[in-house]
Amino acid sequence: MVTQAQRRVGLVLARASRVLGEEPYYHEFLEGLERVLAPAGVSVLVKVVTDREAENETYERWAAGKQVDGVVLVDLTTEDDRVALVHRLGLPAVVLGAPSTASGLPTVWTDDAGFAREAVRFLAERGHEVIGHISGPMSFVHTQLRREGTEAEAATRGLRLLHGEGDYSYDSGRAVTADLLGGGPTAIVCDNDLMALAVLDELRERGVAVPGDISVVAWDDSALCQLAVPALSAMSHDVGRIGELAARALLDAMTGAAPAVYQAPTAHLVARASTR
């Protein structure tokens, strides 16, 4: 292994069409990660690859060269092969996601289904009966949980829910918005801030008033949401704190501690000018 002064942990992001700079979430997450790791003498190695195969090859290469002492796994899928891979490679790892995906690894867990219900409830209480939901990729477990949450709350309240699948990118947000408009939504909830910004731009170009005609809610409350015109209502998560929890979980895993579930802080919906 590398010496204490040289310890590093790795984060690989598999992104077909985006770069890290487009994702405010991961900037905040990394800041939280480094706040805990840096004082412990641990640096963070971030790599962006094009697909899951390249991601797995990165873990294989890192482990073979003893380049990292642990990794953070994100965007878990059902029966994700990365969990078995890091076990086989002997790499300490932390999962950012539901404990059901972790299979013996520590997790930092966010109540995606519960917070999705809160977003729908927020809109229902403001009189919306037809709500569009632009999700991320449905292969991700956290996306499935959010969809389950939105569907459950919509069913409880007798609302009509329109679903469209994006990939968290700006372009996908615009394309899915165009598809959803035929269903007559009076509100649209997006699974991240970039897609919500795309919704605003698509509606503006079509002459649809926000929030007069359609209200818009983002999942991640970033500076982009606050600076948007109109400012975006958003489900606000303490992403920096999530990064800190992941760092502490990873430090524990690197010392051989038993895997545990680390509960992320409760999110809350911040109402701004994009909702009526």
Q: Looking at the structure, do residues 99 and 162 belong to the same domain, yes or no?
A: no
Note the pTM of the prediction, 2 decimals.
0.89
At which residue do the structure tokens 């932390």 appear?
A: 94
Buried b (16+ CB within 10 A) or exposed e, 114-133: ebbbbbbebbbeeebebbbb
Are 203 and 260 in the same domain? Answer: no
Residues 105, 242 within the same domain: yes
Cα–Cα separations (whole angstroms), residue 108 to 94, 153, 212, 259: 7, 25, 38, 11
Residues 32 and 52 in one domain: yes
> Which residues are within 8 A (CB) of 4 and not within 5 positions of it... i.e. 6 or more apart?
41
Q: Do 118 and 69 sit in the same domain of this protein?
A: no
Count of structural domains, the chain = 2
pLDDT tens column, 212-239? 999 999 998 989 999 999 999 999 999 9
Q: Is residue 275 part of a domain?
A: no
CA distances from 204 to 85, 174, 210, 218 (A): 46, 11, 8, 17
* Chain position carrying tokens 């790795």: 10
Q: Are 240 and 32 in contact (CB under 8 A)?
A: yes
Is residue 270 included in any domain, yes or no? no
> Is 271 within a domain?
no
User: For 172-212, how does the pLDDT look when each residue is reduced to its tens digit (9 = 90+)?
Assistant: 999 999 999 999 999 999 999 999 999 999 999 999 999 99
The domain of 59 spans 4-110+238-265
Q: How far apart are CA 29 and CA 75, in angstroms?
A: 14
Q: What is the mean pLDDT of residues 136-141?
A: 94
- Indicate if the alpha-carbon torsion angle 28, 53, 38, 245 is positive or negative: positive
